[in-house]
Amino acid sequence: MELLLLPWALLLLVTAPGPGPWPTADAQQSCSLRCGDRGAPCSCHPTCVGLGTCCADMRDFCLEIQPYSGSMMGGKDFVVQHLTWRGPIDSVICRFKESVQTLGHVDSLGRVHCVSPLLYETGRIPFTLSMDNGRSFPRSGTWLAVHPSKVSETEKSQLVNETHWQYYGTTSTRDALSLTWNASALPTNQVTIELWGYEETGKPYSGEWMAKWSYLYPLATNVPNSGSFSFTPTPASQNFQRWEVGALRIISSKHYAGKKDVHALWSNEHALAWHLGDDFRADPVSWATTQCLAWEKLENELPDFLEELPDCPCTLAQARADSGRFHTDYGCDMEHGSVCTYHPGAVHCVRSVQASPQYGAGQQCCYTADGTQLLTADSTSGSTPDRGHDWGSPPFRAPPRVPGLSHWLYDVISFYHCCLWAPECSRYMRLRRSSDCRSYRPPRLASAFGDPHFITFDGANFTFNGRGEYVLLESGLTDLRVQARAEPRTTPEGLQDRGTRLTAVAVQEGNSDVVEVRLAPGMGDLQVLLNQEVLTFAEQSWMDLKGMFLSMAAGDSASIMLSSGAGLEVSVQGPFLSVTILLPERFLNHTQGLLGTLNDSPTDDFTLRSGRVLPPTASSRELVQFGVDWAVKNASSLLTYDSRLLVNNFLYGPKHDPTFQPLFPEDITPSPGQETEADKLCGDNNFCSFDVAATGSLSVGNATRAAHQLHQHRVQGLKPVVSCGWLAPPANGLKEGSKYLVGSTIYFHCNNGYSLEGAQVSTCQANGNWSYPAPACQPGRSHTVLLSIVFGGLALVVLAALLYLLLQRRKRNTTPWTSQP
């Protein structure tokens, strides 16, 4: 008789060992061409390390590298770890994404080296390794290509006084320019310093639109590798004049100039003012004005990308709290001193995380110290949206989606032309006008923390401390799934008590990568897994992943930004994980799970899979049914089982442990002394009081209180704000005021020779409308002139009256004269 197994059961048999004796790696089995494969009798999957099921040669074929990241500009030398090559060497070839090849080598110690290639994308780049001149590529690994601005300054050559480089020729200054670098980063005695130029050619938004770096010419050859170089620039020859954006590259002089994909140090990309021609140096303003007008003409012919950008948050508090859709702009960050070179007056800017779907454009939003949004319509310090998103966007490689560089060509160098090298900034600001926030809608927020306690998207709250794996959130809108693992707390004596804590959270949206954030075993620190492989953040705190971005902060907080605009914040709070999920408004009526049904009504938040709804007044004992109903199914689990404990307890064990007796608030009776201390610490915070009573630990209660306060702070920061939108000044007049939120007032005035027709003052009302429309300034005498005439006329009348009175008084005081007959 045939045994009919469910597909998920078959998967479990393949992916994890059964209870009892654990298999050992079979030396006859190899990981050659099998990295990531879980197949028996030995595994080449990352989870095999903790399970003890790896093939004996896994480290020889599934490669770990050091360093594991570098600029997408390439030229980084990395070493394959755990692989010592003593065999014959034909030629070492490193192949990235099955298409780009670089030449590697084996050093005197038998270590295998590769050099990262020049790429036009960021993110995790698969590579394979051949030790036989490309005949076979049985070994594989992953390289992390990073946005140039996110690379450590020690890994780049430095333009000394970079502003001077980018303004060279616009003033009378003709001083030498200097370049520095870390000489030990290039193991050579002499170096060549080259200029490379970047351009994008072909018809915009067509299949012909291409991105290309080109070697232009050497600045110097056979220079001593001393770590510094100075020179006085001379105009480049005419055939190089079309490149206005580029970077310097330093390589060993043993390579011919312009040789691709060799060990190198790159400078930042920058405006090549210093290499432009004599016409630029003779009259930079006229030259830049011509370029600005040409850019303006091109922009007017290109599609309007502004319409598909998201509106900016109305306030700084909203911008910082909406972490699923907006992230700090590193060029203006209040956490790093608010050095906002291009936005003076701002203290903080954010950029939209995701590029716009059709045009790959990006939004930028800047704010003053009082939280007011800065608009280009009011000031050149305003935030400017970008035709090319600074961080690029999948599938990358082609304009305008090349990270950093498309942005430079379409948004930055044009700013130099119009605003920095010529007085034509109004043209730039008209085409890069800021978004106001009239259509901005804050995301909805839900959290889980502490014992654990849950606060749903609609504000209902409850405590459920079951032991198992549970669905926090599911949404069919984008196939978004968020799952969590809850494990019993451990007392200082190593015993398990009746409370539980979240120890892992996993998320996937559609066919994106799976990211899991968990408490590292036995350490209490955060550990992040990508597709069940533990990540390291020793070199980079930001990663571009499939369908999401991942950011790590200070080792105790991870931010996950999904392509839908949803976001997760997972952090360590005391002995447990705290998770916050933010959902854009479009998820309304599209959620289910422990965090409720998002529909602005908490009455149906306790909805079971069947559709049955438990009442909001349900007791904590009744709500156990709700929690149990949302236990994860093995077939759809996103969580990782990479230890015997996890396999036995959660993979082969029930997803909800029915034998575990949860703790209920009504079961807790704190001791009198403990109650007094808890009251002092917790006040009216019931979550804090519960956890102090349940654990006997004030520190646990304090961590719960801090997590709850953080949730409340975010809720407060994301409160909707009414905006009436930007109000224009009248033609031939001006306005006072640049705030457009409810209660703000704008004052209007006319220039001399014009009179105000309409209201002089308009106030933003709660309904989102201005109390009065913007007035007009009509030709004619202004109020000042009319008042001058009126008061001048009155003065003449008064003067005439005074003269009359004086004459009358004089007449009365004079004796009349008559003749005698």
pLDDT tens profile 42-64: 999 999 999 999 999 999 999 99
Q: What is the rounded average pLDDT of the residues 349-372?
A: 96
The pLDDT of residue 507 is above 60: yes
Q: What is the rounded average pLDDT of the residues 599-613?
A: 97
| pLDDT-derived band at 7, boundaries 50, 70, 90 | very low
pLDDT tens digits for 412-421?
Answer: 999 999 999 9
| Three-state SS sequence of 525-560 | CEEEEECCEECCCCCCCEEEECCEEEEEECCCEEEE
The pLDDT of residue 10 is above 60: no
CB count within 10 Å of CB 766 equals 9
Give the percent of the chain with pLDDT over 90.
80
CA distance 727 to 767: 16
Nearest Cα neighbor of 501 from 569, 556, 594, 579 is: 579
Q: What is the rounded average pLDDT of the residues 100-129?
A: 96
Nearest Cα neighbor of 430 from 567, 286, 258, 306 is: 306
Instruction: Give the per-residue pLDDT at 277.
Output: 94
Between 21-30, 132-141, 622-631, the lowest mean confidence (pLDDT) is in 21-30
The count of C-alpha atoms lying within 13 angstroms of the C-alpha of 294, restricted to the half-sphere facing its C-beta, is 10
Q: How far apart are the first and last CA of the chain?
A: 166
CA distance 662 to 197: 65
Which distant-in-sequence residues (6+ apart) come within 8 Å of 254 by Cβ? 188
Instruction: Give the per-residue pLDDT at 684.
Output: 92
- Residue pair 652/19 in contact by the 8 Å Cβ criterion: yes
Nearest Cα neighbor of 735 from 721, 725, 750, 722 is: 750
CA distance 261 to 77: 10
H/E element, 501: strand 496-509
pLDDT tens digits for 749-763?
Answer: 999 999 999 999 999
CA distance 327 to 747: 34
CB count within 10 Å of CB 154 equals 9
Q: 694 or 104: which carries more pLDDT confidence?
A: 104
CA distance 576 to 536: 21
Instruction: Give the per-residue pLDDT at 27.
Output: 43
Q: Residue written as tokens 């000489």? A: 183
Q: What is the DSSP letter of 492?
A: T
| pLDDT-derived band at 727, boundaries 50, 70, 90 | very high
pLDDT tens digits for 244-270?
Answer: 999 999 999 999 999 999 999 999 999
Instruction: Give the per-residue pLDDT at 810.
Output: 57
Q: 8 or 209: which carries more pLDDT confidence?
A: 209
Write out the DSSP string of 275-312: G--HHHHH-HHHHHHHHHHHHHHHHHHS---GGGSPPP
Q: What is the rounded average pLDDT of the residues 515-523?
A: 89
Instruction: Give the per-residue pLDDT at 807.
Output: 61
Q: 403 or 4: which carries more pLDDT confidence?
A: 403
Q: What is the rounded average pLDDT of the residues 340-346?
A: 91
Instruction: Give the per-residue pLDDT at 584.
Output: 98
Question: What torsion do the CA atoms of 429, 434, 438, 441 make, to the nearest 10 degrees?
Answer: 160
Tokens read off for 490: 């451990």
Output Rg (C-alpha) for the chain, integer angstroms: 34
Alpha helices in 273-418 (DSSP H): 278-282, 284-301, 316-321, 405-407, 413-415
H/E element, 425: helix 425-431
CA distance 133 to 682: 68
Nearest Cα neighbor of 264 from 280, 240, 248 is: 248
Q: What is the rounded average pLDDT of the residues 485-491?
A: 83
Instruction: Give the per-residue pLDDT at 223.
Output: 97
The pLDDT of residue 480 is above 70: yes
The pLDDT of residue 168 is above 90: yes
CA distance 104 to 582: 45
Q: What is the rounded average pLDDT of the residues 379-385?
A: 93
Three-class secondary structure of residue 592 per DSSP: strand
CA distance 347 to 342: 11
Tokens read off for 677: 């201390």
Q: What is the DSSP letter of 573?
A: E
- Residue pair 373/383 in contact by the 8 Å Cβ criterion: yes
395 Ramachandran zone, left/alpha/beta (phi>0; psi -120 to 50): alpha
| pLDDT-derived band at 671, boundaries 50, 70, 90 | low
Write out the DSSP string of 59-105: HHHB--EES-EEETT---EEEEEEEE--S--S--EEEETTTEEEE-E
Instruction: Give the per-residue pLDDT at 154.
Output: 87
| pLDDT-derived band at 300, boundaries 50, 70, 90 | very high
CA distance 750 to 568: 50
pLDDT tens digits for 677-711?
Answer: 888 999 999 999 999 988 888 999 999 999 999 99
CA distance 373 to 721: 13
Amino acid making up residue 120? Y
H/E element, 140: strand 139-146
Instruction: Give the per-residue pLDDT at 524.
Output: 76
**Total number of residues shown for the chain:** 821
Instruction: Give the per-residue pLDDT at 556.
Output: 86
Instruction: Give the per-residue pLDDT at 785.
Output: 52
Q: What is the rounded average pLDDT of the residues 415-441?
A: 95
Tokens read off for 56: 């004996």
Amino acid making up residue 338? S
pLDDT tens digits for 563-573?
Answer: 999 999 999 99
Between 15-24, 119-128, 464-473, 631-640, the lowest mean confidence (pLDDT) is in 15-24
CA distance 405 to 146: 13
Between 8-17, 602-611, 679-688, the lowest mean confidence (pLDDT) is in 8-17
Alpha-carbon distances, residue 482 vs 173, 516, 582 (angstroms): 59, 10, 12
Share the mean pLDDT of the chain: 90
CA distance 179 to 162: 10
Strands (E) in 205-244, as ranges, are 210-224, 228-231
Instruction: Give the per-residue pLDDT at 9.
Output: 37
- Residue pair 253/190 in contact by the 8 Å Cβ criterion: yes
The pLDDT of residue 3 is above 50: no
Tokens read off for 319: 């911008």
CA distance 482 to 454: 14
Tokens read off for 430: 């008209």
The pLDDT of residue 665 is above 50: yes
- Residue pair 465/662 in contact by the 8 Å Cβ criterion: yes
| pLDDT-derived band at 232, boundaries 50, 70, 90 | very high
Instruction: Give the per-residue pLDDT at 793.
Output: 63
Instruction: Give the per-residue pLDDT at 694.
Output: 86
| pLDDT-derived band at 90, boundaries 50, 70, 90 | confident
Instruction: Give the per-residue pLDDT at 790.
Output: 57
| pLDDT-derived band at 818, boundaries 50, 70, 90 | very low
Nearest Cα neighbor of 565 from 352, 335, 769, 813 is: 352
CB count within 10 Å of CB 556 equals 13
- Residue pair 603/593 in contact by the 8 Å Cβ criterion: no
Q: 643 or 820: which carries more pLDDT confidence?
A: 643
| pLDDT-derived band at 25, boundaries 50, 70, 90 | very low
CA distance 514 to 512: 6
CA distance 516 to 530: 7
| pLDDT-derived band at 243, boundaries 50, 70, 90 | very high
Sign of the CA dihedral 798, 803, 807, 810?
A: positive
Instruction: Give the per-residue pLDDT at 812.
Output: 55
Q: What is the DSSP letter of 136?
A: -
The pLDDT of residue 26 is above 80: no
Instruction: Give the per-residue pLDDT at 821.
Output: 34
pLDDT tens digits for 266-277?
Answer: 999 999 999 999
CB count within 10 Å of CB 205 equals 15
